[in-house]
């Protein structure tokens, strides 16, 4: 009895254990199946949930694109803020010097036209040119000339030595201005603005709304205006660096200092000249007097008539008074 009861009890325990295991398996299965059904129902019953909202996507892409354009637009100027100055400083330490040379000299010569033509020919042979020419008359038949020369900077010293051989130097002034930093700075800024212009044009192609287009076009206009102004300044500066300026004053020699002449050599000519001059002055004065008189007749004639009438009246009164004082016998 004891062995049988133990066997039954063991069988009951095993059966209970199996029942518990089956029960736990069923509970686990029930807990997993609703979740799978819920996921499947979500995927089948609402297919629109998986499909993106095309309008919202387009708006999101537009917003991202707009933010990207603005970000690029801002980053462009933040990056280029001090690049021109840094480039100028770096290049100034490694590049050659840019000098603007100017000089002025006064040369005493024998003949103005001959000297001016000689200088013109010599300057053109060096690759330069004459910017302006002015001639003036001085006293005693002397003349004065002003020439503004532009000569290549590398021929400046050579031309200055050559000019000093054209006559006697009366005055000489020279000056040189170092414009290296200004030259390199302008060159760097022009390159920077050109790069900005290209970048702004690319941003303009990416713009998608009116506000962005107007903003970028406004900035593009400003950049192009600054670029044109700087290009003009740079062209003028480069011209001054490439061609040095030489101002030349040509003065003819005073004949009294170079030749000895006697008064009798020109006596007849000088007498004839002065006689003709004084005769012309006398004729001119007489002609002016006659013209003045004839032009004043409308005023002089009434005055003459009035004066004559007054004179006749005075004479008549004197005769009348004399007759009273001397009675007839």
Return the bridge partners of 40, or none: none
Return the bridge partners of 136, or none: 144
Q: Write the CB contacts of 170 (distance below 8 Å, at least 6 apart in sequence).
A: 106, 107, 108, 251
Backbone angles phi, psi at 286, to 5 degrees: -65, -40
Tokens 């490694």 locate to: 94
Structure tokens at 304: 């003459």
User: Whole-number mean pLDDT of the chain?
Assistant: 75
Angle (nearest 5°) at CA 327 between 321 and 329: 160
Q: Write the CB contacts of 284 (distance below 8 Å, at least 6 apart in sequence).
A: none
pLDDT tens digits, 21-73: 555 655 555 444 443 333 333 333 333 333 334 344 444 444 444 444 454 54
- Mean pLDDT of all residues in 225-238: 92
One-character DSSP codes across 264-275: GGGHHHHHHHHH
Count other C-beta atoms under 10 Å from residue 65's C-beta.
Answer: 15
User: What domains can be seen in the chain, in order of their start residue?
Assistant: 99-179+244-253 (3.30.70)
| pLDDT computed for residue 53 by the predictor | 44
pLDDT tens digits, 130-178: 999 999 887 766 788 999 999 999 999 999 999 999 888 999 999 999 9
């Amino acid at each position: 009895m004891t062995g049988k009861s133990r066997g039954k009890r063991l069988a009951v325990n095993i059966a209970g254990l199996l029942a518990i295991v089956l029960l736990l398996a069923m509970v686990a299965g029930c807990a997993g199946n609703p979740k799978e059904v819920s996921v499947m129902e979500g995927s089948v019953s609402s297919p629109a949930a998986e499909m993106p909202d095309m309008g919202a996507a387009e708006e999101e892409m537009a917003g991202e694109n707009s933010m990207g354009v603005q970000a690029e637009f801002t980053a462009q100027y933040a990056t280029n803020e001090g690049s021109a100055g840094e480039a100028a400083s770096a290049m100034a330490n490694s590049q050659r010097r840019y000098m603007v040379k100017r000089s002025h000299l006064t040369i005493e010569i024998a003949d103005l036209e001959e000297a001016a033509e000689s200088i013109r020919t010599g300057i053109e042979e060096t690759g330069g040119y004459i910017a302006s020419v002015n001639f003036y008359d001085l006293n005693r038949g002397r003349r004065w000339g002003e020439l503004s020369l532009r000569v290549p900077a590398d021929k400046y010293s050579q031309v200055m030595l050559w000019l000093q051989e054209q006559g006697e130097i009366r005055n000489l002034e020279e000056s040189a201005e170092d414009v290296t930093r200004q030259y390199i700075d302008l060159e760097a800024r022009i390159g920077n603005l050109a790069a900005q212009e290209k970048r702004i044009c690319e941003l303009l192609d990416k713009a998608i709304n009116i506000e962005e287009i107007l903003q970028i076009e406004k900035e593009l206009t400003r950049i192009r205006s600054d670029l044109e102004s700087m290009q003009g300044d740079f062209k003028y500066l480069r011209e001054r660096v490439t061609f040095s300026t030489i101002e030349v004053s040509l003065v003819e020699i005073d004949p009294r200092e170079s030749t000895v002449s006697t008064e009798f050599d020109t006596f007849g000519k000088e007498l004839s000249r002065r006689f003709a001059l004084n005769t012309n002055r006398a004729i001119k004065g007489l002609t002016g007097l006659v013209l003045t008189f004839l032009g004043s007749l409308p005023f002089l004639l009434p005055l003459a008539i009035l004066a004559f009438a007054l004179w006749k009246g005075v004479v008549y009164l004197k005769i009348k008074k004399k007759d009273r004082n001397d009675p007839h016998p």
